Amino acid sequence: MAIVLLITTAIAVMFYITVMIYLWRAEGSVEEEYIEQPKTVSPATKIIALILRKMITSIEAMLVAVSLCIMAIMSSLITSYMYTSTTIDMSGYTNSYNFIGIANNINAIYNIRNIFNTSPLLIVVQLYEPITLRNTSIMLYPLVLYCNPYSSQINSDWIERTCKLLQNGEYMMILNKNIYLNTSSVYINNNTFKIVYSDIGYVTDIAIAPSIPLVHSIGSMGGTILKIENASMITIASIPIDRVESLCRNSCSVKIIALSHLNISNIYEDAKKYLGLFDTVILRLNNHGYVYSNNVIPSPITVIGISIMILSSIIISLSVSGALIEKFVDIGRKLITIGITSEFYSASFIAGLVIFFAFWGIPITVLVSLGIVNTLSILSYIMMSIGNIALFFYVAIPKLERIGKGYSEATLSYITTSSIDLTSLKKCIVTNLESDEFFDLGEVELIEEKGVNIIRIELLYRRAIATLASIEIYIRRFNSTTNLNTIVDVWSLEELSGRVTQGLTQLVLSKMYGVLRTCTESS
């Protein structure tokens, strides 16, 4: 534990130092950075970079990230797995054997024979690559059976019958009696087999367990396993168990089924002992079959532990990140005043958080690649990061939406106590709008009348054809205050949807709010 924490701390410190060197070389700090309208760089890129710098230079964000890394590593230390399992009804099947092992790798044959060398054992090998008998058009699917010296202890008629067939010697091909070849032997893949005829039709009627036939399965339909029904398509091959692979021309596609009768004391522990050898193990107790697969899932203790850590990470974030969230809200407020919508800032905000937490996932990935912690640490870190991103989002974004809703209508009223010179105000508006990224400044007109003054502005939207925003600012003085009432009308020669028109209107209103605030406070 101490070594793991030491390595994690070292990686985190190196990462932090690297980032700080980058920021030191950069000009200015986050608070000093002027948020201007970008020209050659995407606005989203600028905002994401701003959020990342704020996160990296924030002690609160670093505490959250380090705590997430430590808890992700701790989740690896409490990780335990269990094999997937289910229960099947075996009341209609013989109880002569209480152990069924199923493997799909040809190499498992040798280990199976050695492990069960003192127990009754029948090995069934279903070869799915058919063999063609020379000088004939007959194609047969080999069914290799192996009985060890204790197989007779499995009290089953079909097992006894099958093992007697195999007692006539090795290198035999037992064909169904309705097939006749004009030869007494066949040569298959450098092996010479003696031909023997017998009634082997019974093998197609045997089911070892539900959905596990003795013969080859060829698919399924509606949950029902389809098998070879014609015994003339099968040959029972008698061959030394270590020579089974020689029946395959290419790679061996097989299903190996081992049947035995064991003394079962603890079902789960006994199954776990054999799952390293088999892909599936079925242990029978009375009329129930307990099926265990070598696929593993996290144990309940692990799931509970990870859930507690996710909850703890959110609590830690809530306790230390309040000031950080307010900083993001303040940034969003400033961006909204210069025309950035709350939706646009929300998307950029989430992207910045994702990138930040993804960078802090690098130390966990390094530890996993070195084998120091297991892969569940990455999953734990991802889940905790998602929880923290959701926390930041649901706390910060509603505050931004409340700010943005103030300028969502087509009119805007702004009241100031500052003394306003109309000529200076017009000049300031022109200065702020003539370098705008989204609009070209057209006509600006100042109309001075008794009781009310009007500034008329036309903005041409750069990203559409003949789309204009007409702005009228009505300026009225009441004693020591001045009321600036702004009306925006967006129109276009193109057919714009209501959503696009509303978006452009909100964008113009947001810009005008920022411009009027800037110009009245500076005058």
Q: Which domains occur in the chain, in start order?
A: 43-82+301-405 (no CATH), 100-211+226-286 (no CATH), 410-522 (3.30.530)
E-state strands within 104-216: 121-127, 131-132, 139-147, 172-176, 185-188, 191-198, 207-209, 212-213
According to DSSP, the β-strands at 288-298 and 81-89 are: antiparallel
Confidence at residue 22, expressed as pLDDT on a 0 to 100 scale: 47
Confidence at residue 18, expressed as pLDDT on a 0 to 100 scale: 54
Confidence at residue 7, expressed as pLDDT on a 0 to 100 scale: 56
Confidence at residue 163, expressed as pLDDT on a 0 to 100 scale: 80
Confidence at residue 42, expressed as pLDDT on a 0 to 100 scale: 65
Confidence at residue 32, expressed as pLDDT on a 0 to 100 scale: 39
Q: Which residues contact 361 (CB under 8 A, 6 or more apart)?
A: 378, 381, 382, 385
DSSP 307-371: HHHHHHHHHHHHHH-HHHHHHHHHHHHHHHHTT--HHHHHHHHHHHHHHHHHHHTHHHHHHHHTT
Distance of CA 281 to the CA centre of its chain: 30
Confidence at residue 483, expressed as pLDDT on a 0 to 100 scale: 85
Q: Which residues contact 305 (CB under 8 A, 6 or more apart)?
A: 75, 78
Q: How far apart are alpha carbons 69 and 359 in whole angstroms?
A: 11
Confidence at residue 12, expressed as pLDDT on a 0 to 100 scale: 56
Q: How far apart are alpha carbons 195 and 189 in whole angstroms?
A: 16
Q: How far, CA to CA in Å, does 66 sit from each of 76, 206, 303, 317?
A: 16, 60, 22, 11
CB neighbour burial string for 393-414, b if at least 16 within 10 angstroms, e if fewer: eebbbebbeebbeebeeeebeb
Is residue 471 classed as helix, strand or coil in its secondary structure? strand
Q: Give the residue ranges of the chain where pLDDT is below 50.
A: 1, 22-40, 404-409
Amino acid occupying residue 72: A
Record the pTM: 0.56
Please, is 495 exposed, middle or buried when counting C-beta atoms within 10 Å of its C-beta (0-12, 13-18, 19+)? Answer: exposed
Confidence at residue 394, expressed as pLDDT on a 0 to 100 scale: 81
- CA atoms in the 13 A half-sphere facing the CB of 349: 28
Q: Nearest to residue 329, comparing CAs of 315, 358, 349?
A: 349
